[in-house]
Chain A
Amino acid sequence: MAKAIVVIVGGGVGGILTANLLAKHSKQIQVQLIDATGTHQYQPGWLRVPFGDYRPESLRYPIRRLLHPSVELITEPAKHIDTDARHVVLQSGKQVPYDYLVIGTGAYPHPEEIEGLAQGAHTFYTEEGALRLNQALQQFRGGRIVVGVAGFPYKCPPAPHEFTLLLDDWLLARNLRQQTELTFVTPINRLFPIETVAPVFENAFKERNICVETFFNTESVNSEKRVIASLEGTELEYDLLIMIAPHRGAEVVSASGLGDRGGWVPTDKQTLQVKGHENLYALGDATDLPVSKSGAAAHFEAEVVAQRLVEAVEGRTPQHLYDGHVMCMIETGGNKAMLINFDYQHPPRTPKPSHALKIAKGLFRRAYPLAVLKAPLTAGVGFFVRPGEA
């Protein structure tokens, strides 16, 4: 019997883990992974590049080295997905046929959507941006810093808050905190979207004298006058501005008519099938699922997608369902971190920051390529750490 061909677009957490989980079934399934660059980036590490803690090179992994040998890697941008003809068209025009397709094409910041944001604001959401911010911080001698969220959605929701707390530590260590006014801006009326987690950040920001501007929907940035203005009519002057731009889905998704207005793939929240396409799956940041855009969500989704694909290829009715499980280790400054764990049914409990979790987070970063992506030792870990029971 001919092998079923599963093509995966995107070499992020979801794509690589799905490929490696399917590789165990290489007798029935041939797996091909398409990635534009051939390099996997450990994006959570960019948070600490501005502080000089990590070099960007240490966060890059050649995808070939992360993949099971039986998985074929195609290093070329995917330009179009033709769901009628069942093939992916690459930049060169080459067509890659599939029986099943997995879309794991990610989310990307679009600063150009807000007037002046690209010119006036720093970011740590790209490797280049994180390095440029590192240089700006080294030259900073005190003044007004504004950090914040310029628009929803964006990936890794706690990252701007983590950054602000780490920045406070960094300024304190350099005797610059007293000369610095630190303000955090957010489009909504509380510091963090998840209600049970918001108080932890609110207390930490209060203790550290970090001003918070809620209902601040960034309308424009004037980089000459160094002023950021909100739709609500508030203006803030700054010497250093660090903003997270609203994200959109990948171009290939929109170009193929598979995305909604934001370029997100309409995805069934349990089966992870692309709505209206039985042989298409989507996972990670690329979807329109009502869960955080994070590597952990992509990880748990990859397990479900891989299991369902194996069931389908073996002629069984796919039964595994995604329950919305997400886990997040969050830096809270002062050498501490906290863990939140939740799914569709159970919101996270209010977490408690600890030194042990900070150490765990550091260890996770080191173990990540081997434990999470290459040899998925952690596959199935979700069953042991259920939200509400952890």
Chain B
Amino acid sequence: MLTSNRTIDARGSQCPGPLSELIRAMKEAELGEVIELWTEEPRTKTDAREWCEKAGHEFLGVESAEGYERIWVKKAR
């Protein structure tokens, strides 16, 4: 499990809600900060990974929890 500077609980939010929440948090984050996103949307991990590639951030990983997934992303630019 990774440590994060901030956790966003986007459970209950449908696509594209979780990704939008992540992008908004990344906009506000400082360089090097790690954001953890909780989502029930199975698609979010793929979308978040693709978004990190496009936006130049680091996708650190994903882990399954009870009924949701935890995603870690690092602000890299």
Contact = CB atoms under 8 A, between A and B. Distances in A.
A and B: partners?
Answer: yes
Interface stretch (A53-61, A185-193, A369-377): A185-193
A152 B17 contact: yes
Interface string A150-165: 0111000000000000
B16 A188 contact: yes
Q: Which of B13, B17, B20, B27 has the most CB of A within 10 A?
A: B20
Contacts of B2: none
Interface in B23-45: 23, 26-27
Interface SS of chain B? helix
Interface in A199-242: 215, 217, 219, 231-233
A233 B56 contact: yes
Nearest to A192: B16
A151 B20 contact: yes
Nearest to A113: B24
Given A188-B47, A219-B27, 19 more contacts: A152-B20, A187-B16, A187-B20, A187-B23, A188-B16, A188-B19, A189-B50, A189-B54, A193-B16, A215-B54, A215-B55, A217-B27, A231-B23, A231-B55, A232-B54, A233-B55, A233-B56, A290-B13, A291-B14
B12 interface: yes
Contacts of B50: 189, 215
A215 B51 contact: yes
Contacts, number: 41
B60 interface: no
A231 B15 CA distance: 20
Contact of B51 (A151, A189, A233, A290): A189
Contacts of A233: 55-56
A231 B17 contact: no
B14 A290 contact: yes
21 contacts: A151-B20, A152-B16, A152-B17, A153-B17, A187-B20, A188-B16, A188-B19, A188-B47, A189-B50, A189-B54, A215-B50, A215-B51, A217-B23, A217-B27, A219-B27, A231-B27, A232-B54, A232-B55, A233-B56, A290-B13, A290-B17
A151 B27 CA distance: 13
